[in-house]
Structure 1
Amino acid sequence: MPAFSAAVPAFFGALEKVRTVMASGLISSAPSRAGRGVATSIVASVLFAVIFLIAGLLPGWGAQEIFGWRVVLTLATLGAMMPFLPGARTELKSLARRVRRRPALLLPGVFAAGIVGVQLWLFMWAPLNNMALSVSFGYFLLPLTMVLAGRIFFADRLSRLRKFAVAAAAVGVAHEAFSAGGLAWPTLVVCLGYPIYFVLRRKFGFDNLPAFAAELLLLLPVGLFFILTGPHGVGSDAGTTGLFAAISIGVLGGVAMALYLLASKWLPLSLFGLLSYVEPVLLVGVSVYLGETLGWSSIFTYGPILLSLLFLAVDGRRRTPRLR
C-alpha cells in the first residue's frame, strides 16, 4: 500500500509531539491549568488528524473492522497510561464507589458509550466513503454548538472576542447550509452528538479518563465481534502494513482521547469548544489530500470560520496565563 508510507512519518511525528507535551508539563504541576488545557487540546487535534489520514489510506479495510481495532487498542493504551496520569487511580476508585452506591448511573453511562461508539465508527467510515469533508464540517460546527451548550447548561460567560468568534462561525455555517441545501447527516451527527455527550459527562460527573475507559469496556464486545468477523480477522493474511495501520489507529486513538478528555476537564466548556477549531482545519487538509475537492464558493464558508479562529487566538493570548 504505497500511499500509506506517507502517513508513517506523521505517525512517529505525532508520538514525538506527545512525548514533548508530557515532558513539558502534562504530568508536572508546574504549568497552569489553562496552559496545560490549551497544549493538550492542540496535540490531541494533531493526533486525530493523523488517525483520519491513516484510516483513509486503508482501502480493503471496512470501517467496522477498523473501529473494532481502535476500541480494543485504545482501551489497552488507556489501561497502560492511566497509572501514570495524575489522579487517575483516585478517579477510578471514586467512579466505582459512585456506581456501586447508585447503580442507576449505569444508564447514562451506557447512553454515553453509545454516543461515543457512533462517533468513533463515523470517524473511520467517512474517509473511506468520500464523506471526509462532511465530517470535517461537522467538527467545524462542533465548537459553535459546544459554546451554545456551555452557555445554556453551565452559564459559561463569553468575552466580546468569543462572541465575535461565534458570530463569524455562524456566518460560515449559514452559507454552507444554504449553498448545499442543508447539512449532511454525518455533519449533524458530529455537531449535535458530541455536545450531548460532554454535557452528559459533566452533569453526571463522568468527565474523566476512567469513565471513558468504562465506556470503551462496554463497547469491547462489539469491537471484538467486528474484528473476528472482518475480512482481516483471525487466521487471515492482513499484511504487515495493514496491521501496523490498524495498531497505529488504536494506540494514537488512546493517546489522543486521553489528551482530549483532559483538555475538556481543564478548560471551560466554551473555550474548550472554540479551541476545537484546530482539528477541523487539519481534517479538511487531510480530506483534500485524500482526493475530495473544495469549490470556489467554499471561501464564503471557511473564510468566516478562519476569521473566528483569529478572534479565538487573540482572546486566548489575552486570557491564558503564561507558563512559568
Structure 2
Amino acid sequence: MSKALPSSTGTGPWRNTTVTGLLYAFGAFFTWGLSPIYFKALVDVPATEIMAHRVVWSALLMIVVVLALRSRHAVAAAFATRRQLGFYAVTTLLVSTNWLLFIWAVNTGHMVQVSLGYYINPLVNVVLGVLFLHERLEGRQKLAVALAVLGVASLVAAAGTLPWISLTLALSFGFYALMRKKAGIDPLIGLLAETLMITPLAIGYLVWADLSGWGSFGSAGLGLDALLAAAGAVTAVPLILFMYGAQRLKLSTIGLMQYLAPTIQLLLGVALYGEAFTTAHALAFGFIWTGLAVYSSQAFRSR
C-alpha cells in the first residue's frame, strides 16, 4: 500500500510529489486519449473479439500487478462473500458495456460521439452524486448541468435522435464510478476481480472463434497477435498511472486534467480520421464546454 503523502506546503517534498503526480496523471489521460489509434489498428477484427482479448490479457497482467503490489490476504478478502461477488457482477457488466461500446464506436467512425460522452461524464457524475449520495448542487453546478442538458438537447433537435453512444458511455462509466465510490473498493483489486469474472466467457468466445475458423489470433501474423496481446497493457497501464496520480494530486487538478482524453479523441476523429463535425456538433459541444468551464471553476475555487 502507498505511504501517507506529506501535507501540501508548496515546497520541498510536496512539490516533488505534485510533479510526480502530474506526470502520472498526464500519462494516464494522454494514453486514454490516444487509445483510439490502437483500436483503429485492429479495425478488421470484430469488436467482440477485441473485447475478449482485452479481458483475457488484462486479467493476466492484473494478476501479476496485484500480487506484486497487494497482499494475498487483501485479494482473498475481495472474494469472501456473496454480496461482494454480486457487487463485482454488476460493476463487471457496467465496465464491459463501456469497453465494448468504446471499441465498436471507435472502429465504426463515431469518435466524435465518444469524445462527447466523456465530456458529459463529469456532469453525469454530479447528477448521480445528488441522486444516490445525497450531495447538494451549488449554483454553478446547477448551471453546468443545465448547459450539458441543452447541449444534448440541441443534438437531438438537429439529428432527430438521441446521441445514444455518448449517453451510454457516460452513464455506464458514471454508474460504475458511483458503485466503486460507495463500496470503497481498491482500484487494482477491483479491476482484477472484474476481469476474472468475465474471463471464462472471454476464453470460451475465443476458443469458439478459433474452432469456427474465423478467429484472428494465430491466423493473421505475429504483428496482429502482438497487437491483440497488448490489449492488457492498453487497459491496465493508464489505470495504474491514474491511481498513482490521484494519490498525489488534488481532486480539482484531476478534474481539470481529465478533459485531456476526450479532447485528443475529438481531434483524432476530426483531423486524422475525417469524421464530420457539423454546426450542430459545434453548438452542442459549445454548451457542454461552457458547462465544464463553469463546473471546473467552481471545483477549483472550492478546493
Compute the TM-score of the two structures, normalised by the length of structure 2.
0.78
1:141 corresponds to 2:123: no
Superposition map of 1:1-324 within 5 A: 29=5, 31=14, 40-83=24-67, 85=69, 88-89=70-71, 93-94=73-74, 96-97=76-77, 99-100=79-80, 102-156=81-135, 162-228=141-207, 229=209, 231-233=214-216, 235-236=218-219, 238-260=220-242, 276-288=258-270, 289-311=272-294, 314-315=297-298, 318=301
Q: Structure 1 residues 302, 78: CA separation in 2 closer, same or farther (over 3 Å shift)?
A: same
Q: Give the Cα separation in 1 of the matches to 2:24 and 2:134.
A: 24
Q: Shift of residue 146 of structure 1?
A: 0.8
> Which string of whole-angstrom CA distances, capped at 9 and with x for unpartnered residues, describes residues 126-175 of structure 1?
12222333333222221111111123333445566555543443332232
Contact 1:49 1:279 in 2 (8 A): yes
- Whole-Å Cα distance in 1 between the matches of residues 186 and 152 of structure 2? 29
Which one is further off, 223-232 or 48-57?
223-232
RMSD (Å), alpha carbons: 3.5
CA offset digits 1:44-88 (Å, max 9, x no partner)? 222122222211232321111211221122223333333555xx3
Secondary structure, aligned partner of 1:82: helix
Please state whether the residue corresponding to 2:184 is helix, strand or coil: coil
Conserved? CA contact 1:143–1:277, under 8 Å: no
Q: 1:168 to 1:35 in 2, by over 3 A?
A: farther
Shift in Å at residue 117 of structure 1? 1.3
Gaps of at least 5 residues in structure 1 are 1-25
Deviation at 1:306, TM superposition (A): 2.5
Equivalences, count: 289
Amino acid at match of 1:47: T
Q: d(CA) in 2 for partners of 1:34 and 1:181?
A: 46
Letter aligned with residue 227 of structure 1: L
Q: Determine what percentage of the aligned residue pairs are the same residue.
A: 25
Report what 1:8 is aligned to.
none
For 1:152, what is the secondary structure of its paired residue? helix
Q: 1:259 to 1:235 in 2, by over 3 A?
A: closer
Contact 1:46–1:279 (CA under 8 A) maintained in structure 2: yes
Q: TM-score, normalised by structure 1?
A: 0.74
Distance 2:196 2:109 in 1: 30
The answer on whether the counterparts of 1:138 and 1:186 sit within 8 Å (CA) in structure 2 is yes
